[in-house]
Amino acid sequence: MSIEDDKKKVEKALDKIKNRLLVFSGKGGVGKSTVAANLALAFSKQGKKIGLLDIDIHGPNLAKMLGVEDKRMETSADGIKPVAVNKNLGLVSMSFLLEDPNLPVIWRGPMKMKAIQQFLGDVTWGDLDWLIIDSPPGTGDEPLSIAQLIPASGAVIVTTPQEVSLMDSRKAIAFARKLNLDITGIIENMSGLTCPHCGENIDLFKQGGGQKAAAELGIPFLGKIPINPDIVTLGDEGKSFLDSHPDSEASKAFMKIVEKIIKK
Ligand SMILES: Nc1ncnc2c1ncn2[C@@H]1O[C@H](COP(=O)(O)OP(=O)(O)O)[C@@H](O)[C@H]1O
Ligand SMILES: [Mg+2]
């Protein structure tokens, strides 16, 4: 098959999806995967049909975060089926493939982009309201080529609150432009921490950098997610933070952000 045929096949696999949202950041470790997973859960709680794609080939971790790392995608004559996280949310992750000991070397070599593209063309997403894509970290050539394999329409940029995040956000915007993406907005993650002992707020990484960046760059600001140690613990245990702590500030923030995105 030619590259053009592969591209068409991917387009066809995506044609019953109403909205495709790429979640990315200027750098790694800012909580991009955490945000992608919790946004997907928040959308699914709103009754939306959601697909989540973990296309990070070097460190795919959404299957672990969502407690489905032992499951496998089923293959039928129609194609490859996402793993069900809940009744509204299906996950396709590179981790399901990469952990296969019989994985062909093609996945690690120079042909890997073509292999990923072929794989994406075989996924049967079905009718979805949103596809949320967790992209590989950074804004370099590899994340760009991977993001190009799965054409998204909108993009959410995740940043932390330090003022240097403005620089990262600039890079992120240039990245979004290269991909012809409509920027839905910026999310400021790890924004403040409520002390579990005294209830006082601690601005561990300062506050407001994401908001400031959004204002300066003329992009919508979607909201702030505070630091919550349970996000780390539950993520490591593969349990849904949003379901375990629906009344926490962080969960409320995720739900509000999703409402904003739906209204757009
Ligand atoms: N709001 C938050 N509060 C507490 N911990 C967080 C928060 N967001 C992310 N984390 C933790 O930070 C680490 C990095 O997050 P991750 O989503 O893997 O980042 P990225 O995908 O950008 O590399 C993880 O251990 C995650 O649990
Ligand atoms: Mg990640």
Best substitution site from 30, 232, 239, 248 to test ligand 1's pocket, by max atoms within 8 Å of Cβ?
A: 232
Distance (Å) from CA 77 to ligand 2 centroid: 32
Q: What is the pTM of this model?
A: 0.94
The span from the CA of 253 to the CA of 80, in Å, is 33
The one-character DSSP state at 43 is H
CB 6 within 8 Å of CB 150: no
pLDDT tens track for 92-123: 998 888 766 566 556 666 677 888 888 899 99
Tell me phi and psi for residue 4, to 5 degrees.
Answer: -60, -45
Query: Which carries the bigger pLDDT value, residue 3 or residue 7?
Result: 7
Kindly report the backbone phi and psi dihedral angles of residue 143, in degrees, each rounded to the nearest multiple of 5, phi listed first.
-55, -35
Please indicate whether residue 160, judged by its CB atom, sits closer than 6 Å to ligand 1: no
Q: Of 39, 165, 187, 231, which is best to mutate to test ligand 1, by the most ligand atoms within 8 angstroms of its C-beta?
A: 231
Residue 142 binned pLDDT confidence (cut-offs 50, 70, 90)? confident
E strands within 10-119?
17-24, 50-54, 74-76, 79-81, 83-86, 89-93
pLDDT digits (tens, 9 = 90+) for 224-261: 999 999 999 999 999 999 999 999 999 999 999 999 99
Q: What is the DSSP letter of 84?
A: E
Calpha distance 13→229 (Å, rounded):
38
Protein residue whose Cα sits closest to atom 15 of ligand 1:
31
**pLDDT score, position 113:** 85
Task: Tell me, using a 6 A CB cutoff, whether residue 31 lines ligand 1.
Answer: yes
Q: Is the CB of 80 under 6 A from ligand 1?
A: no
State yes or no: pLDDT of 187 exceeds 90.
yes
* pLDDT value, residue 37: 97
| Mean pLDDT of all residues in 170-192 | 92
Q: Residues near 246 by Cβ (< 8 Å), separated by ≥ 6?
A: none
Residue nearest (by alpha carbon) to ligand 1 atom 10: 31
Best CA proximity match to 59, nearest among 81, 27, 28, 101: 28
The answer to whether residues 91 and 62 touch, using CB atoms and an 8 Å cutoff, is yes
Q: At 27, list the tokens.
A: 């750098």
138 ligand 1 Cβ < 6 A: no
Cα 110 to middle of ligand 1, angstroms? 30
Question: Interhelix angle for 112-121 vs 3-13, to 10°?
Answer: 40
User: What are the chain's domains?
Assistant: 3-263 (3.40.50.300)
Q: Could you read off the pLDDT of 196-216 as tens digits, one per residue?
A: 788 788 888 777 888 888 999
How confident is the model at residue 158, as a pLDDT? 94
Looking at residue 100, what is its pLDDT?
A: 65
Higher pLDDT, 194 or 70: 70
Q: What is the pLDDT of residues 34-85, one digit of tens each?
A: 999 999 999 999 999 999 999 887 788 999 999 999 999 999 999 999 999 9
